[in-house]
A and B are shown apart, each in its own frame.
Chain A
Amino acid sequence: MKVVGRPLPRVDGATKVTGRAVYADDMLPARTLHCKILRSPHPHARIVSIDTSAARRVPGVLAVITGADLPIKFGILPVTQDERALEHEKARYVGDPIAAVAATEEEIAAAACDAIVVEYEVLEPVMSIEAALDAPKDERIQEYGGPNNVHKLVALEFGDVDGGFARAEHVREDVFFYQGNTHLPMEQHSAVATYVDGRVTLWSSTQVVHYVHRALSKVLELPMHRIRVIGAAHGGGFGGKTDPFAHEIIVAKLAMLTGRPVKCTLTREEVFYAHRGRHPVLMWVRTGVTGDGRITAMHFRSALDGGAYGSYGVASTFYTGALQTVTYDIPAYRFEGCRVFTNKPPCGPKRGHGTPQPRFALELHLEKIARDLDLDPVEMKRRNFVKPDTRTVNWLRVTSCGLDECADKVLAASRFRERKRTPGHGMGFAISTYLSGAGTAIYWNDMPHSEVQIKVDRGGVTAYCGAMEIGQGSDSVLATIVAEELGLQPSDVRLVTADTDTTPIDLGSYSSRVTFMAGNAALEAARKMRALLVEAVEASGRKYEEVAFEEAAVLGEARFGALTTAGSYTPPKIAGPYKGSGVGPSPAYSFSACVVDLDADPRTGLVNVNKVWIAHDVGRAINPLSVEGQVEGSVYMGLGEALMEEQVFRKGLHKWPSMLEYKSPTFLDMPEVETFIVETNDPEGPYGAKEAGQGPLLPVPPAVCAAVFDALGVWIDEIPVTPEKVVEALRRREKGEPPRYGPPRFPSIPYPPAIKVEPPPRDAAAAAR
């Protein structure tokens, strides 16, 4: 390998360090109008009337629109098309978009929004999971779902769960809560639209140009070929820019109405309202084990606070029950999940999508079981680790798996077993797994998930792909793969990405799918190109490696004419034979293990993380620097969630939609991180590669809580671990109560009878199916 595996600079590095990268808000085409959105001040209200006449009279205002102008509903999942770009019937959270203005200046647009008179009939807001399970005082938030404000209920059972519990020598139940939090990308969402010659062009800070393309087509009632969506330089997503958003549709509509470019950049406060972040999840878990800690059965329940709309929520719900089995060998498993609607900004996918919450519960639950049995928690977890090339009880296909090696690395480096036991100092260990791309698309289709085209001519090589560089390094991965195959450097490869007019489809930068899926498509296209060039060069009597690429290109072009190749990637059909099996399967899973070392002050409850060791099985690091960057960033975000970040509400509205009060760790709050890259050479990943961008977040919060227990002897069963919770847990211990801070109980939820699914045959051969 010449470039794969080397710590090369990113291909977009120079653009970003010079300020030349053009983000959506940096664009200001001639005659641009500025758009502001009027949002609901009520968490739950019927809209009686909207009077825009005064706003239209403000000098400088060119257009004012309401929901009547954009009545068609959309949504990321086909089953939950429940959003409108502008709502004219009902507001469902503080911040729900109601009307929009295009004006010559942003301040004029804002003043015009202020002049819009909306008459509301205020309804009782529903602000918690418990309240959503009860009968609504006024009316339900959404018209679908139910009973009450329940959005979705699922219940699945794999194998003989009752039998598993019956043969257990020890059974334990625990309840956990994972508070909601948000992505907080440094860049606020922004979009610019033009309408020229009957065609809409939209530049947006999105993770998925294709899904925005589809939503625009639906709501604007324009065929897809009359819409072009281009991903602008991207200032951070973490899942928060994966849905199609109201402002993207609004600027397109306003451009159509005014014939001028229209831009909308959300304020930081509006970003908190756009949200789609981590669901707050209440969890109950019951596990049976043998005397030596082998799991015999598990029953997991989740209740997700979904906010006001569907977003990715149905998938999120399934994800809270899907991956438990991918790290631990659970022979019988029952999962009951529930998502409710509340009058808050909708929750959706944030880094780890639906899986950090159950991972937190699972890791701490097993810690407690081990202590019940007087077993070493690390040893007990390891006894249950999944093995490579197996199928889990819920039919998930595990291929390469470096769990053991990951655990070895961090345990050895941190000297976990030799740690000094002093009060106030603690270490905690946890593991996790994540998908390398979802095995099924958001909307049902048989087409590839990613496509790459390569063009070679006497001017060089260009690769085209719909994948979106969001800072994770996807452009560099594509360039590296093409360069490796053609014998070039990544910087020699020109890239055209994330443009629905000029690039073939890729489903976008979410679910950690780009390296695996776009990478495989690029590999196929590049190998085909190489074959053409090799044939042309060899026809001239030489070897490909002996001629300069420029000459190979000339020979190829002379022999074959225009040189283009294409590759595509479609994940294997590996989902299990049951309804709901589409969430969870992935062509490969990454694995991580982590140790956190911290000091916790019993007097103040303040926790100071000293160091984090993390090992990540990435299959194969196409660029180890980028992998480290993803791992370190994941640890950062995991620590933020574990210790300080929370999206909370007070009296119906977001308590602190600002970067001052929503606590994102600063440079001084970040401990040293020692990263170990574990390579297991996945059989289906490009050069053996798997994901790195999300999985390493997951073990961090439970490792923090395990370390707090190690330091102080109290369990903090919900995150964030704020000092007041630690102090309260210590107070309870002193009073002789259970030494714990966390949710007291799990609510009663009307789960349907579980669908019983026969597990796959428990032999390695099944993996090949």
Chain B
Amino acid sequence: MKNEVLRDVQRVVLTLDVNGEARELLVPVHKTLLEVLREDMQLTGTKHGCELGECGTCTVLVDGRPMLSCLALPVQLRGRAITTVEGLAGGSNLHPLQAAFAELGAAQCGYCTPGMLLAAKSLLDDNARPSREEIKEALAGNLCRCTGYAKILEAVELAAGRMT
């Protein structure tokens, strides 16, 4: 561990497509997408709970699929579309999922919320009217300690109903 920080850092110039905007960045290859989003792009809406792939908090979408930004290297994501919670709303209009989460109190402390919203968006993009079981399956990688998931389940159903 001691000598690691004395090693040279390999930096690469990358263009990342984040929320539909092409962003050119110079990033150390060992920085995860989570770190680059939060620290280099100030997109702090993406949270982190363990950085080991165990909690789902840092979920973002890559080409529409939920992935954990704590286990993704930007160098592997050239040319792929990354969506964070900041990219969910259309201008100042909330995405129906965001509106439903806010309306039903599906966000209590709000810390797992960005990851939940993105996982739910991916689900609804694939499957406009998921069953309760399908919603649970799709969100089973995202832990929440506040809600007992009940209001989240209702909010996804409400949003699905409004979107179709």
Give A667 to B45 CA distance when docked, in angstroms. 22
A666: CB under 8 A from chain B? yes
B127: CB under 8 A from chain A? no
- Contact indicator A16/B51 (Cβ below 8 Å): no
Specify which chain A residues have a CB less than 8 angstroms from the CB of B84 in the assembled complex.
19
A79: CB under 8 A from chain B? no
Q: Known: A17-B94, A19-B44, A659-B49. Contact between A632 and B1, CB under 8 A?
A: no
B14: CB under 8 A from chain A? no
B21: CB under 8 A from chain A? no
- Contact indicator A10/B105 (Cβ below 8 Å): yes
Specify which chain B residues have a CB less than 8 angstroms from the CB of A23 in the assembled complex.
44, 47, 111
Give A14 to B107 CA distance when docked, in angstroms. 9
Q: Among the listed stretches A317-325, A436-444, A470-478, which one makes contact with chain B, having 4 or more residues with CB under 8 Å of it?
A: A470-478
Give A28 to B42 CA distance when docked, in angstroms. 9
B54: CB under 8 A from chain A? yes
Give A28 to B105 CA distance when docked, in angstroms. 29
- A20, A237, A629, A673: the one within 8 Å of B45 (CB): A20
B128: CB under 8 A from chain A? no
- Contact indicator A111/B146 (Cβ below 8 Å): no
Smallest CB separation, B5 vs chain A (Å) = 4
- Contact indicator A233/B110 (Cβ below 8 Å): yes
- B4, B5, B105: the one within 8 Å of A473 (CB): B105
B31-66 CB mask vs A (1 if < 8 Å, else 0) is 000000011001111111111101101000000000
Specify which chain A residues have a CB less than 8 angstroms from the CB of B148 in the assembled complex.
632-637, 670, 673
- Contact indicator A17/B147 (Cβ below 8 Å): no
B145: CB under 8 A from chain A? yes
Specify which chain B residues have a CB less than 8 angstroms from the CB of A672 in the assembled complex.
150
B97-118 CB mask vs A (1 if < 8 Å, else 0) is 1110111110111111110010
- Contact indicator A658/B52 (Cβ below 8 Å): yes
A115: CB under 8 A from chain B? yes
B86: CB under 8 A from chain A? yes
Smallest CB separation, A334 vs chain B (Å) = 37
Specify which chain B residues have a CB less than 8 angstroms from the CB of A625 in the assembled complex.
104-105, 151
A147: CB under 8 A from chain B? no
Q: Known: A187-B47, A633-B148, A636-B147. Contact between A16 and B52, CB under 8 A?
A: no
Specify which chain A residues have a CB less than 8 angstroms from the CB of B48 in the assembled complex.
25, 188
- Contact indicator B150/A17 (Cβ below 8 Å): no
Specify which chain A residues have a CB less than 8 angstroms from the CB of B82 in the assembled complex.
none
Smallest CB separation, A115 vs chain B (Å) = 6
B18-31 CB mask vs A (1 if < 8 Å, else 0) is 00000000000000
Smallest CB separation, A508 vs chain B (Å) = 15
Q: Known: A18-B89, A111-B2, A187-B111. Contact between A629 and B50, CB under 8 A?
A: no
- Contact indicator A10/B1 (Cβ below 8 Å): no
Give A145 to B47 CA distance when docked, in angstroms. 42
- Contact indicator A14/B94 (Cβ below 8 Å): yes
Q: Closest chain B residue to A662 by CB distance?
A: B54
B163: CB under 8 A from chain A? no
Q: Closest chain B residue to A238 by CB distance?
A: B145
- Contact indicator A111/B102 (Cβ below 8 Å): no
Give A119 to B66 CA distance when docked, in angstroms. 47
A168: CB under 8 A from chain B? no
B142: CB under 8 A from chain A? yes
Q: Closest chain A residue to B30 by CB distance?
A: A107
Give A673 to B2 CA distance when docked, in angstroms. 50
Give A17 to B153 CA distance when docked, in angstroms. 15
B138-149 CB mask vs A (1 if < 8 Å, else 0) is 011111111111
- Contact indicator B145/A111 (Cβ below 8 Å): no
Smallest CB separation, B98 vs chain A (Å) = 4
| CB within 8 Å of B: which A233-250 residues | 233-238
Smallest CB separation, B4 vs chain A (Å) = 7
A60-100 CB mask vs B (1 if < 8 Å, else 0) is 10000000000000000000000000000000000000000
Q: Known: A268-B52, A471-B109. Contact between A17 and B101, CB under 8 A?
A: yes
A26: CB under 8 A from chain B? yes
Q: Closest chain A residue to B110 by CB distance?
A: A16
Specify which chain A residues have a CB less than 8 angstroms from the CB of B55 in the assembled complex.
186, 659
Give A17 to B104 CA distance when docked, in angstroms. 12
Give A472 to B146 CA distance when docked, in angstroms. 8
- Contact indicator A18/B142 (Cβ below 8 Å): no
Q: Known: A632-B151, A636-B149. Contact between A186 and B143, CB under 8 A?
A: yes
Give A185 to B108 CA distance when docked, in angstroms. 12
- A10, A17, A60, A267: the one within 8 Å of B98 (CB): A17
A626: CB under 8 A from chain B? yes
Give A114 to B97 CA distance when docked, in angstroms. 45
Smallest CB separation, A364 vs chain B (Å) = 23
Specify which chain B residues have a CB less than 8 angstroms from the CB of A376 in the assembled complex.
none
- Contact indicator A268/B50 (Cβ below 8 Å): yes
Smallest CB separation, A696 vs chain B (Å) = 10
A337-367 CB mask vs B (1 if < 8 Å, else 0) is 0000000000000000000000000000000
B8: CB under 8 A from chain A? no
B80: CB under 8 A from chain A? no
- Contact indicator B52/A236 (Cβ below 8 Å): no
A22: CB under 8 A from chain B? yes
Q: Known: A632-B148, A668-B137. Contact between A17 and B113, CB under 8 A?
A: yes
Give A636 to B109 CA distance when docked, in angstroms. 15
- A26, A188, A626: the one within 8 Å of B44 (CB): A26
B67: CB under 8 A from chain A? no
Give A491 to B40 CA distance when docked, in angstroms. 34
Given contacts A19-B46, A111-B5, A658-B54, 7 further A-B contacts (CB under 8 A): A9-B102, A17-B107, A25-B48, A186-B146, A629-B146, A659-B55, A667-B142
Binding site for B on A (CB under 8 A): 9-10, 12-23, 25-26, 28, 58, 60, 105, 107-108, 110-111, 114-115, 183-188, 233-238, 267-268, 470-473, 625-626, 628-629, 632-637, 658-660, 664, 666-668, 670, 672-673
10 A-B pairs closest in CB distance: A19-B45, A471-B109, A16-B110, A636-B148, A13-B102, A235-B111, A26-B44, A19-B85, A471-B108, A632-B148
Binding site for A on B (CB under 8 A): 1-2, 4-5, 38-39, 42-52, 54-55, 57, 84-86, 88-89, 94, 97-99, 101-105, 107-114, 117, 135-137, 139-153
24 contacts between A and B (CB under 8 A): A13-B102, A13-B105, A14-B98, A17-B98, A18-B94, A25-B48, A107-B5, A110-B1, A186-B47, A186-B49, A186-B146, A188-B48, A236-B111, A268-B51, A471-B111, A629-B150, A633-B146, A635-B148, A658-B52, A659-B55, A659-B143, A667-B142, A672-B150, A673-B148
